[in-house]
Amino acid sequence: MRHTLPIAPQFYVTAPQPCPYLEGRMERKLFTALQGENADKLNNSLSSQGFRRSQNVLYRPSCADCASCLSARIDVSKFQPTKSQKRTIKRNVTLKRRATSPWATEDQYDLFRRYLDSRHADGGMADMDVFEFAAMIEETPIRSRVIEYTDADTNDLIGVCLTDVLGDGVSMVYSFYTPDLPQNGLGNYIILDHIEIARDAGLPYVYLGYWVPGSQKMGYKAKFSGLEVFMGGAWQPMRDPETFAQNIAPLSNDPIAEQVANISLPDLGSKPV
């Protein structure tokens, strides 16, 4: 006799570690494996509920006494560039975009190292070697692309973004760029270009990762119009960023069991046993 078992992801919680965004805070993450033939379906569903992908793992902040990290996305239909953002586009008009399969190259790693050494020398990725970098780029069970930006005159690699293609948008997993052109605003430009990528593909959203009130590292995300944040189990239009306070109340988050129970899972079918 053949029986079937439901295919349901198992959720786990990381051990607390120092928060990279808010000094003196501790972070932990709720996560699950992303694998198998239903990986795209699960990624689409959980991304719409504030999760992010890192290789073959989906995660979401689940700190015991802090709820400051808010998943952020841009509603492409509501985005209007500011004067500053228009100038950023003009400054980078000579860049060429090229979308490739998720395959790591030496040029990408060289640029990645220069970016980290200049911008995040003391960050959690500072010691990443070429093999770990290749894993970050290549270990993806879903539809992913590497978006490269090169100088039209010299063909030098200027910027890179690892991008996932979701059912309702594009998700910027990780981007890096040359530190030699600070006046070009390359980080903002790559976001602006992804808005165009989503628009051209008929996709409504650009997922940016997490926005953290009070974190200078994340402040740039609040400058994009059409921004939405995931709060209270739903996406809400961003209000004035200055009105957000760091949510560090002891009861900010529901218990882990409640968080997991409130996650909506797609129909993943069943498997025979």
Question: Following DSSP, what letter does each residue of 2-66 receive, concatenated?
Answer: --EEE----EEEPPPEE-SSSTT-EE-EEEEE--STTHHHHHHHHHTTT-EEETTEEEEE--SS-
Residue 135's domain is classified under what CATH number? 3.40.630.30
* Domain match, 117 and 226 both: yes
* Average model confidence (pLDDT) across the chain: 89
* Domain match, 106 and 203 both: yes
pLDDT of residue 21: 84
* Domain match, 79 and 143 both: yes
* Domain match, 76 and 66 both: no
Question: Domain range holding 41?
Answer: 4-70+247-272
Average of per-residue pLDDT across 62-86:
93
pTM of the model: 0.90
* Domain match, 125 and 223 both: yes
Q: How many domains are there within the chain?
A: 2
Query: Residues 36-73: pLDDT tens digits?
Result: 889 999 999 999 999 999 999 999 998 878 888 899 99
* Domain match, 65 and 89 both: no
